[in-house]
Structure 1
Amino acid sequence: MTTPEYRKGATTLRGKRVPGTTTDARLLDNAESADWLHTDPWRVLRIQSEFVEGFGALAELGPAVSVFGSARTPADSPYYALGEEVGRLLVEAGYAVITGGGPGAMEAANKGAMEAGGTSVGLGIELPFEAGLNPYVDLGVNFRYFFARKTMFVKYAEGYVVLPGGFGTLDELFEAITLVQTQKVTSFPVVLLGREFWTPMVDWLRGTLLTHKMVSEQDVDLLHVVDDPREAVDLIATARQERMEAQRPE
């Protein structure tokens, strides 16, 4: 019988040692006592250590692209096949592939990258219902805090490819778009892979947010919706080439 595992940063817990709440949940719980301010100042250092660990692990990664998608995507889904293909094509284009390290679409992208001989990165997170990294990750970092992990997705990537997914995928997508919109990151293409899945959302952005002037036309145009994984990779590679040309001295 396999004992369920719980990953907490670099620590693995089993059996009665599995906690009832996550580190993130305890940090964000406003009902928690303020005693930790006096008795547990190490929490700040723990947060700092996650950034240091991530920076150290990924500093020499080279050109990379973050690929997002649902952990619930089954292996026989067309979206899983898309993930494998985009992982392979990114490696062939000279990129490392970064995912959240979980199952489903993330596993698919890591699998495509590893089988193509490239670097397959997984940035895991402490969650009550997921344990460990998928078997196709060859460089893995586990985080306690979502905000530290999400920094790594942006800092070490030159763009995002977003496969169909749920709340977590949408969270990562809209954070990336907000960073591009506010020019916190530049030359950072965001590609949505799967027209049938993503087009209704983009139509809502245009029909509701744009109509109410909550966003501009240029904001919505930041999203590139495609069906072909090769087109997704080409969009990112073209943006990289344009950025390199713009940085060349006259």
Structure 2
Amino acid sequence: MKHRITNDTHLLDTIHRGEWKHRDSWRALRILSEFVEGFDTLADLEPAVSVFGSARTKPGTADYELGERLGAALAKAGLGVITGGGPGAMEAANRGAREAGGVSIGLGIELPFEQKLNDYIDIGLDFRYFFVRKTMFVKYSQAFCVLPGGYGTMDELFEALTLVQTKKVTRFPVVLLGVDFWSGLIDWLRDRMLHTTKISEPDLDLLLLTDDVDEAVAHVVKECAFLRDVDTGKADV
């Protein structure tokens, strides 16, 4: 299968270095336009949660049904659902949110292979650059819920944890759904990273691991309530 050359590929290209001086300054304007479009489109978004998970998750599987239940529960709690807009677990969360009467948002990305936004999105944006898209996930979310996934899911998970650990964002809950899937990772974080003092005990507390959608949403709602109080000057901080 022939793959397209994406804008990210051109930006990060290390072969045609001679073109950087002539093209990157103009490319910066395209990057700026993506930030502006994202900010304008999402500025009035209600409190929302970003849900990540594998694009390879198949409808009818336990992971897909978990995504649907999570999306619906978040919507019923008054929270918008933001995903990467693709198929699989992303589609499941968007579908659950929409069918429960919530706001369903998809932030797509240009990939070397064809992928369109799924059919359960109310507000959709397509991005050329991963780092612009990542900014939107964090800026307009009050929590991350992470379903079983692959490299992309791990990328988003650890970027969120790094931002919280370094205080770039505050009171930002991160929930892992799927105890069987994620337990090995938690064990490794504790037995390797923590044991060798690469992280500290409070860093492990940044994650909630659960199979219970109601527990996940209750945890998120508790933290989101705190954030709304901060916005209105009610919180004791």
Q: Assess if the C-alpha contact under 8 Å between 2:179 and 2:211 holds in 1.
A: yes
Q: Letter of the 2:187 partner, please give it.
A: D
Q: CA deviation at 1:242?
A: 2.9
Q: CA deviation at 1:249?
A: 6.6
1:248 is aligned, of 214, 234, 237, to 234
Alignment of 1:203-218 (within 5 A): 203-218=187-202
Alignment of 1:37-48 (within 5 A): 37-38=21-22, 41-48=25-32
Question: Does 2:113 match 1:132?
Answer: no
Q: Letter of the 2:172 partner, please give it.
A: F
Question: Does 2:42 match 1:52?
Answer: no
Taking the aligned partners of 2:23 and 2:180, their CA distance within structure 1 comes to: 53
Taking the aligned partners of 1:124 and 1:130, their CA distance within structure 2 comes to: 11
Q: Assess if the C-alpha contact under 8 Å between 2:146 and 2:177 holds in 1.
A: yes
1:107 is aligned, of 91, 99, 111, to 91
Q: Alpha carbon RMSD of aligned pairs, Å?
A: 1.7
How many equivalent residue pairs?
Answer: 234
Question: Residue 217 of structure 2 corresponds to which residue in structure 1?
Answer: 233
Question: Residue 79 of structure 1 corresponds to which residue in structure 2?
Answer: 63
Q: CA deviation at 1:245?
A: 4.4
Alignment of 1:136-151 (within 5 A): 136-151=120-135
Question: Residue 157 of structure 1 corresponds to which residue in structure 2?
Answer: 141
Question: Does 2:24 match 1:33?
Answer: no
Question: Residue 172 of structure 2 corresponds to which residue in structure 1?
Answer: 188
Structure 1 SS opposite 2:142: coil
Structure 1: runs of 5 or more not aligned: 5-17
Taking the aligned partners of 2:23 and 2:115, their CA distance within structure 1 comes to: 30
Question: Does 2:75 match 1:91?
Answer: yes
The two structures have a TM-score, normalised by structure 2, of 0.94
What per-residue deviation string (whole Å, max 9, x for no partner) do you get for residues 156-191 of structure 1? 000000000000000000000000000100010000
Q: CA deviation at 1:105?
A: 0.1
Question: Residue 4 of structure 2 corresponds to which residue in structure 1?
Answer: 20
TM-aligned CA distance change 1:249 to 1:160, over 3 Å: closer
Question: Residue 7 of structure 1 corresponds to which residue in structure 2?
Answer: none
Q: CA deviation at 1:40?
A: 5.9
Q: CA deviation at 1:227?
A: 0.5
Structure 2: runs of 5 or more not aligned: none
What per-residue deviation string (whole Å, max 9, x for no partner) do you get for residues 133-178 of structure 1? 0000111000000000000000000000000000000000000000
Q: Letter of the 2:78 partner, please give it.
A: G
Q: CA deviation at 1:32?
A: 1.7
Q: Letter of the 2:178 partner, please give it.
A: G
What per-residue deviation string (whole Å, max 9, x for no partner) do you get for residues 27-82 of structure 1? 11112233342356320000001100111110011100000000000002101001
Taking the aligned partners of 1:222 and 1:40, their CA distance within structure 2 comes to: 38
Q: CA deviation at 1:21?
A: 1.2
Q: Letter of the 1:248 partner, please give it.
A: K
